[in-house]
Amino acid sequence: MKVTTVRKFYWNFEKEERWLNEMAAKGQALRHYSFVTYRFEPSRPAEWIYRIELLPDDSGKPASQEYLAFMADTGAQAVATYMRWVYFRKPSVDGPFEVFSDLDSRIAHYKRVLLMFTSLFAGLLPITIVNITNITRGEMTPVILALALPAVALLLGVEALLGTQALRVTGKIRELEVRKRLFE
Amino acid sequence: MVKSTMPAENGQGPLTETVYYVLLALHAPLHGYGVMQLVDEMSGGRVKLGAGTLYGALTTLVERGWIVPVAGAVGDRKKEYVITEVGRDVVAVELERLEELRGNGQRIAKGEPR
């Protein structure tokens, strides 16, 4: 089988999921994922439907393993796990495939994703601030400054992207919570 | 008959559709996928339980004591569940509530005679 490798990085797991389903529609079925590396194998066009989920625990933990076994019993195959992320797929002949079918569980999942983004954001905040204050003090030699500036730019960039995702997911949660006032 | 004046018998609130259908499906022992299929069938294809949602519901229902895992057939690793007495009582209360909803709906929205 001819394996196609694609290097790509997504901040938005829903865009990522859409892309995987577009690839599947073209007959490229995800078989493996590790950091920024997707491996696809040829399949019949639209043979599979892909769904991405963030687990409460690391995918290797017993609780996660039990969950993945349950999912497998329902026909949802975990083609790849990466840290807490799982890439499920199910044959499209089985009909529509969603991991979550009610507002409560969809909200709970988004909250899990939100917490991940906010924790990462908060985790990077102190070093970002320390670096900025050091630079603004103006006591750095030109060489140190030349190293510190790109580092800070990178940190700020990552923080901005994490913040954007946190806001996006917060918006999704709000939307579903408004809907929940009327529906399940 | 619909007793629309009857107050709530206990503090039990409305069940979610997921919980209600899972409890109905488990009146006979079934594993997760069996629940998904039966609920799909019972609802004429309207309710398609997501496996993730179902897993959460099963976990909560076991914690509540409304369902219990049963020892499956030898060599079958798929866990089966079945409803408990408490679970049946919960369904009975819910059914009364649903009958009240339905009765009032028929009477008012569909203009049936009182």
For chain B of 114 residues, list the mean pLDDT of each consecutive stretch of 10.
Answer: 42 91 98 97 97 98 97 71 97 97 94 68
B81 to chain A, minimum CA–CA distance in Å?
13
pTM of the model: 0.91
What is the per-residue pLDDT across A68-80, written as a single tens digit (0 to 9) for each?
Answer: 999 999 999 999 9
Chain A: residue whose CA lies nearest to B40 = A95
Provide the pLDDT confidence category of residue A32 given band limits of 50, 70 and 90: very high
Read off the tokens for A146: 């030349």
Q: Which residue of A has its CA nearest to B33?
A: A74
| Residue among A101, A88, A68 at smallest CA distance from B39 | A101
* Residue from B38, B46, B55 whose CB has the most chain A CBs within 10 Å, to mutate: B55
If DSSP codes are grouped into helix, strand and coil, which group holds residue A97?
Answer: coil
pLDDT beyond 70 at A128: yes
Question: How far, in Å, CA of B110 to CA of A157, rounded?
Answer: 59
Provide the CA A133 distance to its chain's centre, in angstroms. Answer: 32
Report d(CA A61, CA A28) in Å as an integer: 30
Return the residue in A94, A102, A104, A112 with the most chain B beta carbons within 10 A, the one to mutate for interface testing: A102
* B16/A104 Cβ within 8 A: yes
Please state the separation of Cα A91 from the chain's center in Å.
Answer: 22
* Interchain pair B47, A73: CB under 8 A: no
Note whether B78 contacts A73, CB cutoff 8 Å.
yes
Interface list for chain B against chain A, based on CB atoms closer than 8 Å? 16-18, 31-33, 36, 47-56, 77-79
**In the structure encoding, which two tokens stand for residue B84, read together?**
């408990």
Do the Cβ atoms of A71 and B55 come within 8 Å?
Answer: yes
Q: Which tens digits make up the pLDDT trace of A142-173?
A: 998 999 899 999 999 999 999 999 999 999 99
Answer yes or no: is pLDDT of A95 > 60.
yes
Question: Which residues of B fall within a CB distance of 8 Å from A109?
Answer: 52
Q: Do B51 and A76 touch (CB under 8 A)?
A: yes
Residue of B nearest to A94 (CA): B37
